[in-house]
Chain A
Amino acid sequence: MDHHHTTLSDRLTFPEENRIATGFFAAGIIGIILSLIGLVVNTEQFFFSYLTSFAFIASLVLGALFFVMVQHVTRSSWSVVIRRIPETISFQLIWLGLLFIPILFGMEFLYEWTRPERIATDELTQHKLPYLNTPFFIIRNVIYFAVWGYLGYRLYKNSIAMDLQTEVAVLDKKQRILSAPGLLVFAFTVSFASFDWLMSMDSHWFSTMFGVYYFAMSFQTILAVVILLVLYLFRKGLLTNTIKKAHMHDLGAFLFGFTVFYAYIAFSQFLLIYYANIPEETLWYYYRFDGSWIFLAYLFLIGRFAIPFFLLLNRKAKTNYKLMMGVSIWIIMLQFAEMFWIVMPILHKGAISVHWLDISLLLAFFGISAGLFFRQFGKHSMIPKNDPLLSESLNKH
């Protein structure tokens, strides 16, 4: 029967002659050189731009880790053929800690609670010092990166090990045993990491929803990234018989769903603060709505929720590859813009101000991360070829 393909008919390795990783590395190195010049020229701007790009890239790799763990915990069969992509992205978590180290040297610029003269005059910050102090900040971040690095590394290595053997039931079980507590630990670490990296920049401000806000943004974006990577593979003629329209439809439905989830979380955080109208809470939004920054806030409401919502609403839209590519690129760009909107109003009050360091550091981070991804992706099979649920995934309608 022709409606039952159960065998793989595509090549499973990324072509060696593809030089995309080298291209990304080259772009990344140019970005690094430019940024190092910027570090000397404008140190304060450098660290703010650095944190923006770091938070952007971190949100992608963390979103990928969550995606992989959810698929294991739910034993999803639909996602098996695309799972190696987020797996390879979350493997990059082993490097994320290294990228965080420069931020430790810029803490006096980024975090007002590290400045002694500020602490001396500010009673509210004094009360927060048991949590917001440099040694504890470093200890917490070491824990985050150790946990994420371990999860990303282990899940990827187990999956690769499955490719090489036929007796996979034990490894498959291991993935699930790792993922279930992994999700719980992920929820705590990502929440606290977002508190530490971004929320503590305003040491007075707090929002208990900030962790889930960061997560909602990152998960929406990683779905766009996975869609974009699959479409890139299609363009190169890879996996065209393995990943079918049905898989792309589900990814599109996921993107649609988490577009709504993002809007729900982002708006809920705003509404609660708006309605309660307590000065120390509203100040965060005050700076981010001040002057031309308000345009970015409206851009997120319309561009990151309303437009993708209506574009992706129709069933056919989710398998319209050109449309999906456009929406995915747009959402990834807005994710960077939203990180910019969270970080930068502290440095540039009252007006949007784009510095060339924002671009050069984005180039550095994106180039190196994408280069590392493609280098790793080329090393092994592009799909988990011995996964016990693979044939079910290939049969997806």
Chain B
Amino acid sequence: MSTKDKPYGVLAEFDNPADLMDAASAVNKAGYKQFDTHSPFPIHGMDDAMGLKPSKLGWIVLVHGLIGLMGGVALQVWSMDIAYPVHISGKPYLNFPAFVPVTFALVILLSAFGTFFGLFKMNKLPRLHNPLFNSDRIAKATDDSFFISIQATDPIFAEKKTIEFLKEIGATHTEIIPES
């Protein structure tokens, strides 16, 4: 492990979910923005402790849904009334009740695309390797241990100070994660 290169960040280990929650809260209060918590199970209230803002995903989905809505209406108005007007059991060409199922389905389809690709982008996928896996201990995050990682790209990140700070707030073990 070479520490000459700029590190990816630091990883700190905590004993239990309560300590992790308190630590996350302290890291947030200290002003760090680019940090994450890792635990074997979801911890209620962690979003608030980390100071995470509500996800923007809802807005992405809304925009896609509206595109589906307008696209669906436009598609049917054009095809049923302008391009290929055909009499169907004496009903008007602009037959809006009959347009609803297709429009509805397109809203659902586009919203699903918005959700899937929105999440894909927001989670920075596809990503084949996360530098955190350079640590031997991180695997325990899927078993019995609780971690906070702070990235070196954070504006107030300073290797020694950050490690000291993490120890101060109760980390039982800290390590520097190399970039590759």
A residues apposed to B, CB below 8 Å = 1, 3, 267, 270-271, 274-275, 277, 313, 315, 395, 397
Query: B78-92 CB contact bits vs A (8 Å, 1 = yes)?
Result: 000000000001110
Asked whether B18 lies within 8 Å of A1 as measured between CB atoms, the reply is yes
Q: Which of A270, A277, A315, A395 contacts B89 (CB 8 A)?
A: A277
Q: Which of A271, A275, A315 has the most CB of B within 10 A?
A: A275
Asked whether A397 lies within 8 Å of B98 as measured between CB atoms, the reply is no
Residues of B within 8 Å of A277, CB to CB, are 89-91
**Chain B, 102-150, CB within 8 A of any chain A CB:** none
Query: B16-42 CB contact bits vs A (8 Å, 1 = yes)?
Result: 001001000000000000000000000
Q: Which of A3, A275, A313, A315 contacts B98 (CB 8 A)?
A: A275
**B161 within 8 Å of A by Cβ?**
no
Asked whether B58 lies within 8 Å of A315 as measured between CB atoms, the reply is yes
Asked whether A397 lies within 8 Å of B44 as measured between CB atoms, the reply is yes
For the complex formed, measure the closest distance between the CB of B107 and the CB atoms of chain A, giving whole angstroms: 11
A274 to B89, CA, bound (A): 11
**B155 within 8 Å of A by Cβ?**
no
Interface residues on B, range: 10 to 19
> Given A271-B100, A274-B98, A397-B45, list of 9 further CB < 8 A pairs?
A3-B44, A267-B100, A270-B97, A271-B97, A271-B98, A271-B101, A275-B98, A315-B58, A395-B44
Residues of B within 8 Å of A267, CB to CB, are 97, 100
For the complex formed, measure the closest distance between the CB of B99 and the CB atoms of chain A, giving whole angstroms: 10
For the complex formed, measure the closest distance between the CB of B112 and the CB atoms of chain A, giving whole angstroms: 16
A270 to B100, CA, bound (A): 12
The B contact surface, by secondary structure, is: helix
A337 to B98, CA, bound (A): 26
A274 to B88, CA, bound (A): 12
A277 to B89, CA, bound (A): 8
Residues of A within 8 Å of B91, CB to CB, are 277
Residues of A within 8 Å of B100, CB to CB, are 267, 271
A277 to B95, CA, bound (A): 14
Query: B33-77 CB contact bits vs A (8 Å, 1 = yes)?
Result: 000000000001100000000100010001000000000000000
Q: Which of B21, B44, B45, B54 contacts A315 (CB 8 A)?
A: B54
With A277-B89, A315-B54, A315-B58 known as contacts, the answer to whether A3 contacts B97 (CB < 8 A) is no
B residues apposed to A, CB below 8 Å = 18, 21, 44-45, 54, 58, 62, 89-91, 97-98, 100-101
A116 to B45, CA, bound (A): 68
Q: Which 3 A-B pairs have the closest CB atoms?
A: A397-B44, A3-B45, A274-B97
A132 to B40, CA, bound (A): 62
A385 to B159, CA, bound (A): 52
For the complex formed, measure the closest distance between the CB of B80 and the CB atoms of chain A, giving whole angstroms: 14
Residues of B within 8 Å of A1, CB to CB, are 18
Residues of B within 8 Å of A313, CB to CB, are 62
Residues of A within 8 Å of B97, CB to CB, are 267, 270-271, 274-275
A18 to B21, CA, bound (A): 43
Can you list 14 A-B pairs, Cβ within 8 angstroms, ordered by A? A1-B18, A3-B21, A267-B97, A267-B100, A270-B97, A271-B97, A271-B100, A274-B97, A275-B97, A277-B89, A315-B58, A395-B44, A397-B44, A397-B45
A271 to B102, CA, bound (A): 13
A4 to B44, CA, bound (A): 10
Residues of A within 8 Å of B18, CB to CB, are 1
Minimum CB distance partner of A275 in chain B: B98
Residues of A within 8 Å of B58, CB to CB, are 315
Residues of B within 8 Å of A315, CB to CB, are 54, 58
For the complex formed, measure the closest distance between the CB of B16 and the CB atoms of chain A, giving whole angstroms: 11
A267 to B104, CA, bound (A): 12
For the complex formed, measure the closest distance between the CB of B137 and the CB atoms of chain A, giving whole angstroms: 26
A397 to B47, CA, bound (A): 11
A313 to B61, CA, bound (A): 12
Residues of A within 8 Å of B21, CB to CB, are 3
A263 to B55, CA, bound (A): 28
Residues of A within 8 Å of B44, CB to CB, are 3, 395, 397
For the complex formed, measure the closest distance between the CB of A387 and the CB atoms of chain B, giving whole angstroms: 20
Residues of A within 8 Å of B62, CB to CB, are 313
For the complex formed, measure the closest distance between the CB of B88 and the CB atoms of chain A, giving whole angstroms: 9
For the complex formed, measure the closest distance between the CB of A268 and the CB atoms of chain B, giving whole angstroms: 9
Residues of A within 8 Å of B45, CB to CB, are 3, 397
Residues of A within 8 Å of B89, CB to CB, are 277
For the complex formed, measure the closest distance between the CB of B26 and the CB atoms of chain A, giving whole angstroms: 15
For the complex formed, measure the closest distance between the CB of A207 and the CB atoms of chain B, giving whole angstroms: 16
A395 to B44, CA, bound (A): 10
Residues of B within 8 Å of A270, CB to CB, are 97
A267 to B101, CA, bound (A): 10
For the complex formed, measure the closest distance between the CB of B48 and the CB atoms of chain A, giving whole angstroms: 8
For the complex formed, measure the closest distance between the CB of A381 and the CB atoms of chain B, giving whole angstroms: 27
For the complex formed, measure the closest distance between the CB of A56 and the CB atoms of chain B, giving whole angstroms: 27
